[in-house]
Every structure is written in structure tokens, then in C-alpha cells.
Amino acid sequence: MHGSNLNPPILLHMSGIFPFFPLLNFLEMMSDFQIKAQAETYDVIIIGSGAGGGMAAYELTKAGAKVCLLEAGQHFDPADPQYITQLKWAYQSPRRGASTRNRPFGDFDAAYGGWDIEGEPYTTKGNTRFRWFRSRMLGGRTNHWGRISLRFGPQDFKRRSIDGLGEDWPIAYEDVAPFYDEVDRLIGVFGSVENLPNDPDSIFLPPPKPRLHELMLMKSNKRIGVTTIPSRLSILTKKINDERGVCFYCSQCGRACMAYADFSSSSCLCKPALKTNNLEIRYFAMAREVLTDAQTGLATGVSYVDKQTMEEKTVKGKIVVLAASACESARLLLNSKSARFPEGLANSSGVVGKYLHDSTGASRGGIVPALFDRKRYNEDGVGGMHVYSPWWLDNKKLDFPRGYHIEYWGGFDMPAYGFGWGIEEENGLFPGRDGKPKPAGGYGAGLKDDYRRFYGAYIGMAGRGEAVAREDNYCEIDPNKVDKYGIPVLRFHYNWSDYERLQAKHMHDTFEQIMHEMGAVPLGKKPGPEDEYGLNLPGEIIHEVGTIRMGKDPKKSALNQWQQAHDVKNLFVVDAAPFVSQGDKNCTWTILALSMRASRHIADLRKSGQI
């Protein structure tokens, strides 16, 4: 989800200690514990306002359904001055944009929440080191991502048929393609028509021209056969409707756009859905469980905690749509136990929580001596990279089964916290302007000049690859822990295998090859087997998928191809939980297309009276 956040400067600041609230405290707090039920029955209840929930709200309210959207966080609108971080200077933040617990990607990042949310812990099992990023706000994690908007390709739906690992999806590219087209038109994505076999073209807006380091990469990557093409980001380089503005090239999509020129679910889906008057959004609503009728086994509503008043509330609905994120939706189902559904709701197959997988990630930075003392100009461009490398090789000829793409970083960024950090490991590597070697580190006028000299000469690259979905990588309910709302928390069990380790090794070999070819000097140490070839921890790429997977066989999947629970016909899941496999793509564009597809199906079922 986070595109090129390679900028070495923003150092993560994490305590690593989760607050655990013993059940006793919780019960004491709830002395006037009461459950407030409300009379109205909504046509649809949606849990979560990110890409999947926002799209479902947009589609279903447009189709005339009365929808109640539960959001666990606060309101957010990037055009409302009280929320704006865009176009602020580094020095407007007293920490100069450094990360905080609430904004781990920096003080100006639009997303509230992070890896470690007060009172909302998660745990791990065995030697698992899993990290779970959540955004508690309207639009959820679509407020934090690189707007990388890639379609899955035909092969991405049929990996088992190709390499014998994992499962095929119950649908094919052709089933999703018309919805990708609609999402392209509705939200807007720029890119270039390339006719690549497994990276289908969208209906593109014009891409921005490459920056200097990107032109250099395109030229040198061509010599070594690494396909490098304009990136595909959901940022408006042209006007598409009267509700949204056009990109003004400040490079700050991560701060959310006051002109609504970048995609976020809050700006582009929830906001227009509200205009139908068919949508009610309940903020600070932390869902506890999906309620069911003991006789019919159908979903009847959702119980939730109002975080501001700590009241227990319920909302009734004819259809329940989960879009709380792959892990949060699995948690909800597993916590929705009843006599009829003792293993949790929609879980007769036992697959809920299993097959959890995140994209793989590995990255490396370097410095390009040819770019020392560059001429200065405004190089901001759009938020993130203007070019990238889609997977260009054939896994049949390699020792790992799935591919990856490469994202690039570089250029004249606004100096912020972390700027120049670690120069003592760099300025001794290069002779000064006089050609004489310099000792590393130092101080004074000479040091001051080194920062000027190196500014804009750094580059970075990150691989984002497909992991293989495995039954033994999963989230489950921790038997001993609850969050501050008394809701049992998730416990993660997740380890990388050689499929991912060898892929990361290949990434690092490629990064060095790319840097060598463009005349860059790689910085830091190349990771080896002792540190899993530099693989990011699972969860860190924020592309979790697979926990409530779809399939033809109700014994091996929780949902049918319409993302409707096999066991509960008025229950749907529209986040990334239904994904059977990840692809070497970012998941958001596919979440949007599939949520649109599922929502149309729900509207059809409502019309025909089947639910």
C-alpha cells in the first residue's frame, strides 16, 4: 500500500509494546453497561469505509438501498482546513515531519492510526513477527498509499494451474475486466498502453513525464532488460468530473489532496454516496460481532461499541457487508460465535483467518555521483514514482514461483526530519570537488557543503512481490486477550518460506545490477540469508489478503464468487479478505473492481427478491 516510502529519512519510531487491558478493568469500567438497540432496519449495513466499503456504499446507495456505514474512526475530509497537511512546510511541524505513534509514515501523512493503536492490541504466536497497520478514519487505509493502481492479470487468477501452488480463483480476468473498466472511468488512473501479457492496460489518463533519475533508469534498465514504463497511479492528470480537481504536482498524495485529485475512498466514494441521502455514517463505531437469527441462520445486524461513549449498540439490517480489512473482517467473523455457528460465522469450512498473505518487500538505496551538484528546479511531480518496472521475467526459469514489481524513488524532496541522516557513512566514499578524498563525517563549512552537493543525488528502489498463500499463515482469536472495548483480539502466525526468501534474494541482486548499470553506488549492506535477504516483516507492506477466501468448494472456501458467504446468504465480504492470491500487484484496484461487482450482484438479488 505504501508505494515508494523509501526515503531513508523517515525513521520509524515504535515502542513495540502493546497495552493490554485486563478483562477486569474493562468490566469495572462498564458499571452502567447497557445495550442500546435502535428500531430502524437498514437495507444494508457496511462495516468499514476503505476501498471495499466505500465502493459498496457508493454502489448500493446509488441503487436506492438505505445503508448504514460503521466506521471505527473519525471523520476526514482533505479539503476541510482542520484536516489539511498538504502544502505545509516541514518547519510547520515541531518535529519537522518525523513519524509519531499515530502517524508512523510521518507527521504530515494523512492516515491516523498506525501499527500500534492505543487500546487496540494484537498478539503473535511462536516466533512470528507480524505488523498490522490500521487507519481509524473515514476512507481507512486509502488515505495512506502510493495510489499504485494495477489491474491483476489473467495469470494472477490462475496461479495453481500455472505453478501448482495455492488455489485458482473461482473467477477469471474476463469476469473482472468490465468492472476494472468502470473503476478506471469512475476514479481515474494514469498510465501508458503497453500490451503486456499479465499487466493489462487500464483506460488511462496521460502519465506525467519522468523525472531526471527516472529517465536515467529507463535508459540503463533497457540495456539490462528490466522493463521500465510509466507508473499507473489513481491521480487525475486531467479533469474527469465536476466533483474533483486536477493534480497540481505537489508530490504529496500521502497527505491527501484538498482538490480531491487523488483517489481515497472518503473523497471519491463516501462523499458522493452521502449526496444520495441514502447513507448514514456512524463514526467511532467499533464492530464487535455480526448478529444472526438462531432459526434462519441469517445475519440480522451488527453489535458495536460507540468508542466515544463506550455504549454497546446494535444496528439492524437485511444485509451485512464486511469491509473492515482482511484481518479485521476475519476477526469479526471469528468473534461472531453462536450455537448455530460455533466456529464463528461463515466458517463451516474452517478457512476463516487462514491463507493470510501480504506482499513481499525488500529495498535498497544508492547515490548517483553523476547527479552531485545538480541544477535546482521544481521536481515535485505527482505523489510517488513516475515510472516502475512490472514483473519482466518467467518464473519457470527461476528458483522461486512468483514475480515482483519494482518501485523507484529519488529526486529533490522537501527536506524534513531525517534529511542528511547517516551522512557519516556516505561522505567518505566520494572525493570532494577538488578531487581529494575526504574523511567520513566531519563538521563545519565542508560538511555543510556536502549536504548541498548530495541533495537530489539519492535514489532508492523497492521490490513488491507475490507471496504464496499458505494454510499455516493465519490470524486467529487470541484466547487470552481483549482490546479496551472487551473484544477478543487477533493473534498472528506467519512465517516466510523459501519461495519468498529466494524472491527477495533475486530482488537484491537486481537492485545492485540496476544501480551498477546506471552508475549508482549502493548504500548500506546487501542483506543475506542471515536476515532473510532483507524481506520486510509480514504485514509491513500493508497488502494483507486471503483470510476469507472465495472458491467454488464450500469445504475449502468461505465465500462464493460473488463474495457471498456459502453459509449465510445475506452476508458479503468486499475488502481484500476474499482474495485467493495476491498477484505481484497492489491490491486496491482489484478490491474496488470486486466490490463493485459484488455490490451490483447484491442490488440484483435485492431487486429479484432473493434476499
Partner 1 sequence: MKRRNLLKGIGMGSLGLLGFSTKAPAAELLHPFALELDKKDPIFEQFGRTEDEKKRDAKLFAEQFFTKSEMKTITVLVDIILPRDARSGSASEAGVPEFIEFMAKDRPDELQTPLRGGLRWLDHQAIARFGKIFTDIHAAQRIEIVDDIAYPGKEKPGMSQGVSFFNLMRNLTASGFWSSKMGIEDIGYQGNVPNQWDGVPEDVQRQYGLL
CA–CA gap between residue 129 and residue 126 (Å, rounded): 9
Identity of residue 477 = I
469 binds partner 1, rule: CB under 8 A: no
566 binds partner 1, rule: CB under 8 A: no
Nearer to partner 1, 404 or 412 (CB): 412
Least distance to partner 1, CB of residue 223, Å = 14
Nearer to partner 1, 35 or 445 (CB): 445
Least distance to partner 1, CB of residue 560, Å = 40
Angular region, 139: left φ>0, alpha ψ -120 to 50, beta rest: left
182 binds partner 1, rule: CB under 8 A: no
537 binds partner 1, rule: CB under 8 A: no
The answer to whether 211 touches 382, Cβ cutoff 8 Å, is: no
CA–CA gap between residue 116 and residue 15 (Å, rounded): 8
206 binds partner 1, rule: CB under 8 A: no
Q: Give the rounded distance of the alpha carbon of 404 from its chain centre.
A: 16
Nearest Cα to Cα of residue 117 among 86, 72, 85: 72
Stretch that binds partner 1, among 184-192, 255-263, 283-291, 586-594 (CB under 8 A): 255-263
Q: What are phi and psi of 443, to 5 degrees?
A: -165, 170
459 binds partner 1, rule: CB under 8 A: no
CA–CA gap between residue 362 and residue 365 (Å, rounded): 11
Nearer to partner 1, 373 or 498 (CB): 373
209 binds partner 1, rule: CB under 8 A: yes
Contacting residues for 287 by C-beta, under 8 A, at least 6 apart: 47, 70, 72, 302, 303, 304, 324, 332
* Binds partner 1 by CB under 8 A, chosen from 46, 98, 322, 594: 98
Nearest Cα to Cα of residue 213 among 373, 451, 409: 409
* Binds partner 1 by CB under 8 A, chosen from 451, 471, 509, 553: 451
297 binds partner 1, rule: CB under 8 A: no
* Binds partner 1 by CB under 8 A, chosen from 2, 131, 144, 244: 244
Sign of the CA dihedral with 584 first, then 589, 595, and 601 last: negative
Site map for partner 1, 17-56, x if CB under 8 A?
----------------------------------------
Q: Which helix (H) or strand (E) holds 521?
A: strand 521-522
Least distance to partner 1, CB of residue 26, Å = 21
Least distance to partner 1, CB of residue 251, Å = 7
Stretch that binds partner 1, among 139-147, 277-285, 422-430, 540-548 (CB under 8 A): 422-430
383 binds partner 1, rule: CB under 8 A: no
Cα diameter, the chain:
85
Least distance to partner 1, CB of residue 441, Å = 5
Stretch that binds partner 1, among 23-31, 186-194, 248-256, 344-352 (CB under 8 A): 248-256
524 binds partner 1, rule: CB under 8 A: no
CA–CA gap between residue 34 and residue 239 (Å, rounded): 50
* Binds partner 1 by CB under 8 A, chosen from 235, 269, 287, 416: 416
Stretch that binds partner 1, among 240-248, 400-408, 523-531, 602-610 (CB under 8 A): 240-248
DSSP string, 191-230: ------SSS----PBPPPPP-HHHHHHHHHHHHHT---EE
End-to-end Cα spacing for the chain: 35
Nearer to partner 1, 374 or 585 (CB): 374
Least distance to partner 1, CB of residue 430, Å = 15
Tell me, letter by letter, the H, E, C secondary structure of 251-265.
CCHHHCCCCCCECCH
Nearer to partner 1, 442 or 527 (CB): 442
Site map for partner 1, 49-88, x if CB under 8 A?
-------------------------x----x-xxxxx-xx
Least distance to partner 1, CB of residue 382, Å = 7
Site map for partner 1, 428-447, x if CB under 8 A?
x----------xxxxxxx-x
Least distance to partner 1, CB of residue 380, Å = 4
Cell digits of residue 145:
498509499
CA–CA gap between residue 474 and residue 287 (Å, rounded): 21
Nearer to partner 1, 41 or 100 (CB): 100
Nearer to partner 1, 287 or 416 (CB): 416
502 binds partner 1, rule: CB under 8 A: no
Nearer to partner 1, 33 or 89 (CB): 89
* Binds partner 1 by CB under 8 A, chosen from 36, 129, 376, 556: 376
231 binds partner 1, rule: CB under 8 A: no
* Binds partner 1 by CB under 8 A, chosen from 157, 419, 533, 579: 419
120 binds partner 1, rule: CB under 8 A: no
The 8-class DSSP code of residue 153 comes to P
Task: Give the count of beta carbons closer than 10 Å to the beta carbon of residue 590.
Answer: 26
Interacting residues with partner 1 between 346 and 375 (CB under 8 A)? 370, 374-375
The answer to whether 19 touches 119, Cβ cutoff 8 Å, is: yes
Residue 510 burial class via C-beta count within 10 angstroms: exposed 0-12, middle 13-18, buried 19 and up: buried
Tell me, letter by letter, the H, E, C secondary structure of 290-343.
EEECCCCCCEEEEEEEECCCCEEEEEEEEEEEECCCHHHHHHHHHHCCCCCCCC
Stretch that binds partner 1, among 351-359, 416-424, 509-517, 568-576 (CB under 8 A): 416-424
Least distance to partner 1, CB of residue 254, Å = 13
134: which strand partners?
A: 114
CA–CA gap between residue 140 and residue 349 (Å, rounded): 29
CA–CA gap between residue 143 and residue 254 (Å, rounded): 7
